[in-house]
Chains A and B, each alone.
Chain A
Amino acid sequence: MSVPSDRKVAARFRDPGALVPRSMRRQSVGLPELSELQVLRHFNRLSQMNFSVELGMYPLGSCTMKYNPKVSELISGADGMKFAHPLQPIETVQGLLSIFYELERYLSEITGMHRFSLSTAAGAQGELAGVLMIRKYLRDHGQGKRSEILVPDSAHGTNPASATMGGFQVVKVPSDSNGQVRAASVRELCSDRTAGMMFTVPNTLGLFEVEVAEVCQAVHDAGGLMYYDGANMNALLGRARPGDMGFDIVHLNLHKTFATPHGGGGPGAGPVGVTRKLAGYLPVPVVSKGKGGYTLDYDLKHTIGPLKGFVGNSAILLRAYVYIRLLGASGLADVSSLAVAAANYLWKSLDAEAYPPSHGETRHRKHEAVVSVKSELPGAALTVAKAILDHGMHAPTVYFPLIVHEALMIEPTESEPIEMLDEYAAALNEIYREMKAGTLGAVPAFTSVGKIDEVKASHPMTLRVHW
């Protein structure tokens, strides 16, 4: 390691540790002692035991594992981003703020919302912001007794978790046998206790919710607000906007739709947008443009407050901005067209008997397809998932949504060339044949380790090594 040390300064402090009061001095730090080369070899080797989008197909449903443009990485490494401190005077970061301002305008146009806060660090944090805004808005309007949030049974787990964090009770809305939420069901579940509903369109089955406008109307009629989970926005870019469907609040996942890298589990960004009536409630700060230039506005009249320490995941916001500039209006519309075409093509290339669709078999899918694995064997979806790893491709999302038996949720994205779609379908079909014939063998066999004993792991004593 090398740490700079100004000799003239160092000379004054023969024992810098003594500047810490004796009672507060640290005894020792148990860190490894390695050369730079050893550390690099270690992490390089680890990286070689890790699958990624840039190595092969990674069709995790609802994660939108599309390709992350290299130029975004390069631009985000600029000094003007890396070394910018969030507390430096805004006059000194006008270039950066102008980019955020434009990004905010673009996201508002794409979703049909009035204004966005770029501060929330992930979709789940955006959801929390949304739930808190619903809470505050209703209280401010004398509707504080509304304690319930409707969540479809197909919803992503973050939805009910966010609702609970916001102090609400979750009321489950059943999907019908066609995989749709009916406005009539929603109306039945609405009451004067309804604060709002969280809704994903297209839904986690990959199907557009055709009654979305009526659902929004039903909740509005009951006095509640509508929240749009934007995880599946890749299906709708340039085709439809949640603002036009009746939603009041929207979050977007920039690490999904807007091609910022997934980072092995983050960082992402989950900006949250609202209609005009809720604009004063957004989490702060928001980026504003005034006569003197761009500012960070912390004084929104009814803000729920900040959710993050500083302005937002800026380096991620920058990447999303670059992506939008690379695609542009026509390009973004092409994205949804091609993502949807790819998902349908892949789905139709699957053996329909092996992988029956979960719902609505006569309907076109949107950006992802959900199928069941047809088998008497328990854990068939898990077996298929592990087997596909041996083909050098990542498994789809498994066992989600909860309402589908032995579910596989496949989202290829628009990044995959048609040959990859063919290869993936062929692999899934072959795996099924082998499974049925009993010739599959133990899977996975070709990954860096074999099948892992995950059950044994779930004990707190496995969480760290002790020296």
Chain B
Amino acid sequence: MSVAQRRHPLLPNLDESLVSKMLQKVGASSVDELFSDIPPNVRLNRKLKLPEGVSEYEVRREVQARLSRNSTPPGSLCFLGGGVWPHYVPAAVESITSRQEFYTSYTPYQAEMSQGMLQALFEYQSLMCDLLGMEACNSSLYDWASAAGEAVRMAARVTGRRKALIAGNAGPQRCAVIRTYTEPLGLELETVSFDKKKGTLDPEDLKRKLTTDVACLYFENPNYFGVIEEGVSSLVEIVHGAGALAIAGVDPISLSLVKEPGAYGADVAVGEGQPLGIALNYGGPHLGIFSVKDIKLARSMPGRLIGITSTVADPNEKAFCMVLQAREQHIRREAATSNVCTNQSLMAVAAASYLSLLGKWGFRRLGEVVISNSHYAAHRLSRVKGVKSPHFSGAFFKEFVVSYPKTSAAAVYRRLSRKGVLAGYPVQKSFDIGQAGLYCVTEVHTRDDIERLAGALEEAV
């Protein structure tokens, strides 16, 4: 390598004298010698066909220009949901997660030097258990979809059964990921139908399909349409009657007003932690929530778990460390409950900060504002000619479906976006409810924003 005349802020030893010093200690005559054991026929004997490096200023200017070409808030309005949702991220959360002590650390393998991260994650676990009504929550999986996939796998593992029921009104991407995750197990996946008027799951269809070879029912509450599953307690009872596990997929913000999974008997609660202080970030990183009601299930859980203990010297001095590692890949290898290693820890710290900042009163207030806004919006849109808003009669939280008797949903979606309104994600044909779009309204939307949405929808239909 030729180091003469070159310096780089990321490479402190890019200096001829330093490289010489290193080579001298090693007893090598050149840097190339350190690579001489790479067989000649697999060596890359040319430069990588990549652009040469540019300065920080140039990268920043170029990339920021490209990103500013995106149409996003604040220039556009975003009323999209479907599994991640536009919520406000408090400045204090951003401040906490941008502390380098958190974000440039790694998995707390040396617990004594990583108490900050460990305690923050433990607090996340505890806060989530309270929120979800569960007894154990791991310190994150990648996202809702992969958490759902892992949950169905776990249900098959603990029950030894070969079939799983998936709610017909669950998110299509979650369902697709569940399919990918469970395919190697040869699980038979069957869909439970939903009431086309209310938008809720059909308990009769569930009863029909629930046989003794069913490991679990995966459902969402609120479901993909935003509708609250009013009959969820009896659904769970039916599932338990067959000895199967009830897996609830939830939006944690809804738990400000809507009953938590632990209170209606869910065995496993998974969900998307993104609304808890994490930006939309065009799909990631987000936060996969995974929790169990029965502490005995904790030993079958995937993902990292943090526990509270004490020091060896003083049993009264609290300390935190990773626990039940015998479930994990670095200990159990092929017998591990999952292969998860790096997860979404920093996002869990964001969620812990967010919940701490909002607190009991603030979180409830948030739910009230969200549900007020969404209902106001649904009502306002019902006055737009050519739409049915909301489409379903079931009670809803922050998302609702709007159907279009005479217009294509894809056309509405595109026309809205050309007016700077991102809304009405088309509801897939497979749901068989006609032309319809999914809308999400939260605390970030004002009455004026909703008025602008209504105006744009009027022209788009």
Contacts and interface: CB of A to CB of B under 8 A. Distances in A.
Contact of B82 (A87, A167, A327): A87
Contact of B346 (A4, A125, A266, A417): A266
A51 B187 CA distance: 44
A92 interface: yes
B360 A132 contact: no
B134 to A, nearest CB: 9
B407 interface: no
B364 A29 contact: yes
Contact of A267 (B1, B347, B413): B347
A271 interface: no
Interface in A350-399: 363-364, 366, 385-386, 389, 394-395, 397-398
For chain A, the bracket of interface size reads 35 or more
Given A255-B342, A458-B324, A52 B42 contact: no
B283 A314 contact: yes
Interface in B331-350: 331-336, 338-347, 349
B136 A83 contact: no
A5 to B, nearest CB: 5
Centre residue among A92, A125, A414 by max chain B CB count within 10 A: A92
Contacts of B44: 238-241, 244
A264 B308 contact: no
A263 B103 contact: yes
A83 B72 contact: yes
A345 B25 contact: yes
A4 B309 contact: no
Interface string A153-195: 0001110111111110010000000000000000000000000
Contact of B37 (A24, A160, A210): A210
Contact of B259 (A26, A125, A255): A26
Contact of A329 (B49, B117, B229): B49
A199 interface: no
A397 to B, nearest CB: 7
Contacts of A338: 11, 13-14, 19
B92 A39 contact: yes
A330 interface: yes
Interface string B292-331: 0001101100001111111111110101110111101111
Contacts of B37: 208, 210, 363-364
B25 A17 contact: no
Interface string B270-285: 0010000001111111
Contacts of A53: 100, 104-105
A78 B67 contact: yes
Given A80-B72, A265-B106, A124 B329 contact: yes
B35 A340 contact: yes
B69 interface: yes
Given A84-B282, A92-B417, A26 B101 contact: no
B192 interface: no
B19 A31 contact: no
Interface in B38-94: 38-39, 41-44, 47-56, 59-60, 62-74, 76, 78, 80, 82-84, 86, 88, 90, 92, 94
A9 B284 contact: no
A19 B230 CA distance: 12
A196 interface: no
Given A122-B341, A415-B12, A309 B103 contact: no
Interface in B193-220: none
9 contacts: A5-B369, A44-B99, A78-B67, A157-B329, A267-B285, A327-B53, A334-B1, A345-B22, A463-B129
The 5 closest A-B pairs by CB, nearest first: A328-B53, A50-B116, A80-B67, A310-B283, A167-B184
